[in-house]
A = this chain, B = another copy of it.
Amino acid sequence: MSVTAPAGFAAAGVVAGLKSTGRPDVAVVVNRGPLKVGAAVFTSNRAKANPILWSRQAIQDGTVEAIVLNSGGANCFTGAFGFQTTHQTAEKAAALLNVSPGDVLVCSTGLIGTGDEVFRGKILAGTEAAIAALSDDGGDHAARAIMTTDTVPKTAVFAGDGWAIGAMAKGAGMLAPGLATMLVVITTDAVLSVDEADAHLRAATRVSFDRLDSDGCMSTNDQVTLMASGASGVTPGADAFRAALVEVCTSLARQLQADAEGASHDITIRVVGAASEDDAVEVGRSVARNNLFKAAIFGNDPNWGRVLAAIGTTQAAFDPYAVDVSFNGVRLCSAGAPDRPREEVDLTPRATDVLIDLKEGDAAATIFTNDLTHDYVHENSAYSS
Contact = CB atoms under 8 A, between A and B. Distances in A.
Contacts of A121: none
A54 interface: no
A283 to B, nearest CB: 11
A173 B292 contact: yes
Nearest to A43: B312
A164 interface: no
A301 interface: yes
B376 A295 contact: yes
Number of identical protomers: 2
Interface string A329-348: 00001011110000000000
A312 B377 contact: no
B372 A292 contact: no
Contacts of A377: 295, 298, 372-374, 376-377
Given A77-B338, A299-B382, A47 B320 contact: yes
Interface string A306-322: 10111111100010110
Interface string A356-378: 00000000000000001110111
A113 B304 contact: yes
Nearest to A316: B46
Interface string A29-66: 00000000000000001111000000000000000000
B218 A295 contact: no
A374 B378 contact: yes
A76 B323 CA distance: 13
Nearest to A299: B381
Given A333-B77, A381-B298, A305 B113 contact: yes
Q: How large is the interface on A (under 10, 10 to 19, 20 to 34, 35 or more residues)?
A: 35 or more
Interface string A156-175: 00000000000000000110
A328 interface: no
A219 B298 contact: no
Contacts of A47: 308-309, 311-312, 320
A31 B318 CA distance: 38
A292 B380 contact: yes
Contacts of A113: 304-305, 333, 338
Given A77-B320, A77-B321, A112-B304, 14 more contacts: A46-B312, A46-B313, A47-B308, A48-B312, A76-B308, A78-B337, A79-B338, A112-B303, A174-B292, A217-B291, A218-B313, A295-B381, A296-B384, A373-B377
Closest 9 CB pairs of A and B: A112-B305, A47-B312, A299-B381, A79-B337, A295-B380, A45-B312, A46-B312, A47-B320, A295-B381
7 contacts: A45-B313, A47-B309, A47-B311, A77-B333, A216-B289, A374-B374, A376-B377
